[in-house]
């Protein structure tokens, strides 16, 4: 599995034009290994999600979707790089397409249109993690993913 990990790090490093350490830290965060290795207690580890082994084909698909899918980040290489390095759990997730649909679906009226959503994302890539709106459905302790919390932080 080390070979698979090393291939993924090398690929991500080349795609992000970053050094291997930066790509590896990003990948470790995205796949859950960062938290897993930092947790010193075997008892606590049983409550953590199982870390995933990166899959090169999946990484290629994700980066292709980010560049050429509805976000069209090929036209914005700096945002592409910043988004992945800053929010690897969101942008390197195999469910990034589902997150985009959910973020768009739950977005406030000013971002419901895909073009408006993308314009905001180009300024603040963190909005892709906003997949809940407690003003519509009531609080579900999803503050880290909530549009209401995002709006409050943005003021």
Q: What is the pLDDT of residue 140?
A: 87
Q: What is the pLDDT of residue 141?
A: 87
104 contacts 117 by C-beta, under 8 angstroms: yes
Q: What is the pLDDT of residue 42?
A: 73
Question: Could you list the pLDDT tens digit for every one of the 155 residues in the chain?
Answer: 789 999 999 999 999 999 999 999 999 999 875 655 666 777 776 776 676 888 999 999 999 999 999 999 999 999 999 999 999 999 998 889 999 999 999 999 999 999 999 999 999 999 999 999 998 888 888 888 999 999 998 87
Nearest to 96 by CA among 124, 132, 58: 58
Q: How many CB atoms lie within 10 A of CB 102?
A: 16
Domain boundaries, the chain: 1-74, 95-155
Q: Distance (Å, rounded) from C-alpha 134 to C-alpha 85?
A: 28
What do you get for the CA distance between the two ends of the chain, in Å? 45
């Amino acid at each position: 599995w080390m070979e698979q990990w090393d291939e993924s790090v090398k690929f991500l490093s080349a795609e992000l034009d970053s050094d291997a350490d930066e790509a590896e830290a990003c990948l470790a965060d995205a796949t859950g290994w960062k938290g897993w290795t930092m947790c010193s207690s075997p008892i606590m580890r049983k409550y953590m999600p199982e870390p995933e082994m990166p899959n090169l084909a999946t990484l290629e698909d994700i980066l292709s979707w980010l560049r050429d899918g509805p976000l069209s980040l090929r036209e914005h290489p700096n945002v592409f790089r910043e988004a992945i390095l800053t929010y690897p759990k969101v942008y390197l997730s195999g469910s990034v397409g589902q997150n985009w649909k959910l973020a768009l679906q739950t977005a406030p009226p000013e971002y419901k249109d895909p073009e408006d959503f993308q314009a905001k994302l180009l300024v603040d890539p963190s909005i892709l993690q906003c997949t809940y709106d407690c003003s519509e459905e009531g609080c579900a302790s999803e503050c880290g993913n909530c549009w209401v919390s995002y709006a409050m932080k943005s003021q």
